[in-house]
Amino acid sequence: MKNNFSYWEQESFLSGFDVLIIGSGIVGLSAALSLKSQKPKLKIGVLEAGFLPAGASTKNAGFACFGSISELIEELKTGREDQVAELIELRWKGLEKLRKNLGDKAILFEQYGGFEVFKRTESDFAKTCIEQIPYFNKLLGPLIGKPDIYAVNNTKIAELGMNGITNLIHNKYEGQIDTGKMMLALVSKVQGLGVSIFNNCRVQKIESKLNEQVLITNQGNFRAKSSILATNAFGAELIPELDVFPGRGQVLITEPIKGLKIKGSFHYNRGYTYFRNVHDRILLGGGRDLDFEAEQTLEPGITDIIQESLEKLLFETIVPQQKVKIEHRWCGVMGFGKELKPIVKKIGPGLYCAVRCNGMGVAMGSLLGEQVANLIDL
Ligand SMILES: Cc1cc2nc3c(=O)[nH]c(=O)nc-3n(C[C@H](O)[C@H](O)[C@H](O)COP(=O)(O)OP(=O)(O)OC[C@H]3O[C@@H](n4cnc5c(N)ncnc54)[C@H](O)[C@@H]3O)c2cc1C
């Protein structure tokens, strides 16, 4: 190693790895959890570029969702029915795995339901979506084992205190989690099993050999028998042939709001915009569709065009009666591709990847981690 590591550090901390995982997001840590649960003797290290995870897993909105009607209609424009069905199943089963791995209490899972809302000016669009409810209930029913998933519930609108919303589709099986608590629980679970997480450790290059993976990092070189790339949006930086491109998501959160009537996870505009309550605050994010080109970036940043549109929706539609302060803003980066399906595969001898969560990695991440772990021949 190029640093001043002692013999002891090199022997105990930095060598002898069976598997090295690149990226400490939900996918990388779930892969570590799955490997350690199956084979407790494995020595596993996770190399993370950020001080905290710097991708999406600690930055997201915490929707435990599997698709709003308009979002699914949109996905059917890109993928065939069987492909979209497979994705929905991944999301649902992924959420079940997340809840089983960590427990509902640790991740603050609450099933307040999901609501897709439409403004008065969007009645034709709402009609198109409402007409598709029977189709999607039939498609999704066997996948998630529940009847009547989506239903119109316009009487709910009056309870929410929103302005200008005239149509609402309710999904009673959707939930929400506390993203920070989820990741903290995952980190402590894998560390409790003996997995080492190295932060501020950016992999710069992977030298993949027949019996050994050498990961060149800013802290020196790490070696293992196998390695897993779990860097999602950043996937193509290390393996350029992967079809993954970034999509930045911007988010804001308000101060606590007295008497907040909104409870649950809300979808607007084909899934591009979303909001929910976090206790008595509103978390609101999205708007990537307003500026696709600028948001196709790995760079952190927030922009006026998107923040102003989020604020407009917040003040004019979501909490129109109240003067509310925005307390905090941030962004995270998602991994998209030409195809909707995530990439979970063996890249070469000893090198595997699980990337491209297409903006739904809270839902499917735990399962993708397990799937990639199961590919490894140990
Ligand atoms: C604003 C926002 C809202 C979202 N809301 C939801 C939601 O409500 N529900 C949902 O299901 N999904 C949501 N998502 C998507 C979800 O958060 C992601 O799909 C998921 O977190 C991806 O997990 P991951 O482990 O694959 O990747 P990440 O969490 O991005 O982790 C990849 C890690 O790799 C690290 N890394 C990158 N390059 C290197 C390198 N060279 N060396 C070492 N480490 C490296 C990064 O720092 C990062 O920590 C949202 C995403 C965003 C940005």
**319-377 pLDDT per residue, tens:** 998 899 999 999 999 999 999 999 999 999 999 999 999 999 999 999 999 999 999 98
Atom of ligand 1 nearest to the CA of 330: 1
What does each C-alpha distance from 262 to 112, 277, 279, 316 come to in angstroms? Answer: 10, 6, 10, 15
pLDDT of residue 2: 60
Burial 14-48 (b: 16+ CB within 10 A, else e): beebbbbbbbbbbbbbbbbbbbbeeeeebbbbbbb
How many domains in the chain? 1
Averaged pLDDT, 50-66: 97
Residue 36 lies inside a defined structural domain of this protein: yes
The angle, 0 to 180 degrees and rounded to 10, between the axes of the packed helices 361-375 and 26-38 is: 40
Whether residue 92 is contained in a domain is answered as no
Q: Return the pLDDT at 209.
A: 87
Whether residue 85 lies inside any domain: the answer is no
Residue at 48 is within a domain: yes
- Give the closest residue (by CA) to ligand 1 atom 33: 23
The CATH number for 26's domain is 3.50.50.60
If you average pLDDT over residues 271-298, what whole number do you get? 97
Q: Would you place residue 210 in the very low, low, confident or very high pLDDT band (cuts 50, 70, 90)?
A: confident
Confirm whether 239 is domain-assigned. yes
Residue 236 lies in a domain: yes
Q: Which residue has the tokens 């996918």?
A: 27
Write out residues with Cβ below 6 Å of ligand 1.
22-28, 47-50, 53-57, 59-63, 202-203, 230-234, 238, 249, 251, 285, 332-334, 357, 359-363, 365
pLDDT 10s digits, 153-172:
999 999 999 999 999 999 99
Pocket perturbation via mutation, ligand 1, pick of 24, 27, 57 by most ligand atoms within 8 A of CB: 57
Would you state the pLDDT for residue 377? 87
| pLDDT of 189 | 98
Per-residue pLDDT for 1 more than 60?
A: no
Of ligand 1's listed atoms, the one at least distance from the Cα of 47 is: 43
Residue 30: inside a domain: yes
Average pLDDT over residues 141-148: 96
| Residue 124 in this model has a pLDDT that exceeds 60 | yes
Report percent pLDDT > 70 for the chain: 99
Note whether residue 261 is domain-resident: no
CA of 232 to the centre of ligand 1 (A): 6
What range defines the domain where residue 216 resides? 13-58+180-243+339-375
